[in-house]
Amino acid sequence: MTDLAVKKTVSIVARTPDLRADTVECVITVPTFRRPQQLLDTLNSLAAQKTRRRFAIIVMENEAEKREGALTVGPLFANGTYNGLVLIAHQRGNCCAYNAGWETALEEFPGFRYLAVIDDDEIASPDWLEQLCATAEKLQADIVGGPQAPVFSAPQHARWATHPVFAPPYDETKRVGALYSSGNLMISRQVLEAMPHPFLDLKFNFMGGGDSDFLSRAAQDGFTLAWSAEAVSQEIVPARRVEPDWIRARALRNGVISTLVEKRKRADDTLGPAKVFAKSLALLGLSPIRGLRRLLATGSLSTAMYPVYVGLGRVLAEFGYANEQYREPEKN
């Protein structure tokens, strides 16, 4: 998609009147879809950030018809409660929303150093932004991720916090070889200026994984990645997401994404496709053993089945299977 095409699918519908774009050091992008109240909670947590860094917020409304999020928070940007702007990403889909926000950040804020990302079902801790930036500077990292601590709707669901679907990939602040999610993320400006457009590949639009693919490509291009254990956001997890069919679908989807990302990574290798398929078969074959070890360690059948479903998803991806969990938002 060309830059011109992106512009045609984006409309800015609210802006802080005295927005001083040239002084903004950090831009925080917040994609939203049919969660107006949760969006308000997210924005309130951003307004409460403890940092001296001047930041602005871009809300990317991806419901182009009802626009509940934009209608709810637009007046609060217009009256200065929040600093930044609200846009409509008219093309529906996860990747379209992110691309719209990141493109707009580059166009509207000429001097920003860092672009942070948080979803509309997350609450940022008070020092979230400062910790992301400080980690980037301390570790000389171009991209920094942080943990999304799950907050479950019912106390009995707290046991799911250690399940691989919800548990963070790292537990300490350090440089890392890979990051997988944009839900709690900071990207340096030079990364966005160097990466090709659109940033997130639209084939992941309703599946998710466009962020994982983007981060994999950025690492391949030589950008350094890090993890900030202190930059915590809380992710609100509805009861729907601890049901067995949702957990199973997410595990299968993770396997599909793993195959697609690895195929892109090996695109210049003549034997790349064969190597990816062989690895997928090996992982599927070993998954019962890995699952048994997890069962013995945790006593959780769902945790034990996770590597089995991931391995199955990896193999199914070879035959065109795509689990588009975001296609039907009411089921997600």
pLDDT in tens, 52-73: 999 999 999 999 999 999 999 9
Average pLDDT for 81-97: 96
Tell me the pLDDT band of 1, cut-offs 50, 70 and 90: very low
Residue 257 clears pLDDT 80, i.e. is over it: yes
**% of the chain surpassing 90 pLDDT:** 88
How many whole angstroms separate alpha carbon 108 and alpha carbon 89?
16
Tell me the pLDDT band of 4, cut-offs 50, 70 and 90: very low
Q: pLDDT value at position 154?
A: 85
Residue 302 clears pLDDT 70, i.e. is over it: yes
pLDDT tens digits, 110-165? 999 999 999 999 999 999 999 999 999 999 999 999 999 999 988 889 999 999 99
Q: Which domains are seen in the chain, by residue range?
A: 3-239 (3.90.550.10), 245-331 (no CATH)
CA nearest neighbour of 124 among 141, 143, 149: 149
Output the average pLDDT for the chain: 93
Looking from the CA of 49 toward its CB, the CA atoms found within 13 Å total 27
Cα dihedral 233/235/236/240 (nearest 10): 180
**% of the chain surpassing 70 pLDDT:** 97
Q: 30: part of which helix (H) or strand (E)?
A: strand 26-32
Looking from the CA of 92 toward its CB, the CA atoms found within 13 Å total 13
* Residue 66 three-state SS: coil
